[in-house]
Structure 1
Amino acid sequence: MSSDPLSEPELEVLNDTASQFHLIHMIGAITALAVLSAIFAPLIRALDSEQATTALILVGVQLATATGVFYFGSTWRRRALQGAGTRLGQSFMGSPSRQYLVSTLLIVGALTLCLFVVLSSLRNSKESFQREHLLAIYQSFIVTSLSVFLLLHLTWKRHVGVVEFFEHGVALTPLKLTRWESVDVQPQENQEDTIQLIVTTSRKKTHLITVLVRVSPELRSYLLKHYSSADYRPPLKKRTLFDR
């Protein structure tokens, strides 16, 4: 394995460093809020006092949750990827257009659920602030947390459900880096766009977990060249991420 992959020219083609949160993202968020406010302001003014109070409480819960999840998610990822080095690329599921479509639908669907929770709760606003409203607050918290976490993928330039490859490790999830010392890359037979990631875990016992991912030809060639062990021997029984 190469100890200094940055010295090799082919990495310049694969350099896909994830960006951090910038002013442009804040401007986009403020613009989106302004547009939504302009759209729903007439509807809010048409509500009676109790309905308006219910809507404001739920929106407040969603804004507070969004702020907290965004802060902790960004901080957690920054700490997890500290020392990860240059991002070499990421895996994909299906064609690039399909990957973007799936990610977009997930994000739009989650945001729609946030709005649905607010609107559906207004039907019960005539009743006292009891069980239905507490359930709506709980739903707002859960749905908003999911929505913001999916939206964070945009700032990370990461597709939903993929694996990221860095100079010093692999991110099987967006909030955890596994160092290359615990990962071995092997080719997948009869699938030229797929590689095997053999991950060594040591929670209670040492296990080998096999993860199959699809990558570009350039990234596949680079990973096999620098992070593949020639003396690797497959285990008698392979484990996957879903095995216990």
Structure 2
Amino acid sequence: MAQLLDPVAWDLNLISIVLGALVGMILQAFIGPYVSSIVTSMYVSIEAPKYESPELDVTVVKERSIYQEGESVECYDGLEWDNEYSVYRFVASNNGESDIENLKLDIPLPGYSVYTNTDDDTIGGNYVIYPLLTTRVQTTGDACVSEKNCSFRIKKEKLAPDNTLAVEFVISQKFEKCDVLRAFSPRPEVSASFDWYVNDSRNSEVKHIELNQFGSEYYNALHAFENYTEGPSAMEMGKPYHILIVGIEDEGIESAIENSCM
């Protein structure tokens, strides 16, 4: 490319450079890469305004337990506390200067949610939250299965600058035979997609935010059981989520339930 550009650069005089600035777009359409460096330098000198995407930040805090074994926790709707439980608070903040719109936040957990707290004095933001994957297991009789939600999606229409939203999960890593795990994907990472606008022009972005400080917790969840049967899986924002049944190795979830969980 340098050899092709040399003769062009040496033959240019002051007049041709001025003309290049005036008809740069036309020249670029015809001879593309051969004058792209010249045209670009002239555009940069104009110092056109640059627009950056909003700064979405996600922080996670593992809260210290203050409850006793067997205690009824009022703020968790009377949940009977188990010392095996852990509480994680996820907070999403818009630290930029533009609105974040159509926000989707996918949160894989280091286990499954025993209780999801969205209504407390310390929980902020008006949003919608739901399990990332759902299941409908059909069997020929009564099955002793328990469905566990392992990942959630938060949706919010608009998150203004300097605003936050928060959710709290009470999480367990105690898996038992015949547990059906929905959207099981324990990795220390939160995925987000959102839109933002500049002069009525819509821009979209997908980003993945690592939670490396909790790598050991996610690792423990991934290795909390050995045998399982895998069912359907799905890709969301380029990341895999699985449906599993714990403690059984079979050809499929339905046959695993009928053969081992009836």
Scaled by the length of structure 2, what TM-score is found? 0.23
> Which of structures 1 and 2 has the bigger CA Rg?
2
Which structure shows the higher helix fraction? Answer: 1
Structure number with greater CO (CA < 8 Å, separation at least 6) is 1
Scaled by the length of structure 1, what TM-score is found? 0.24
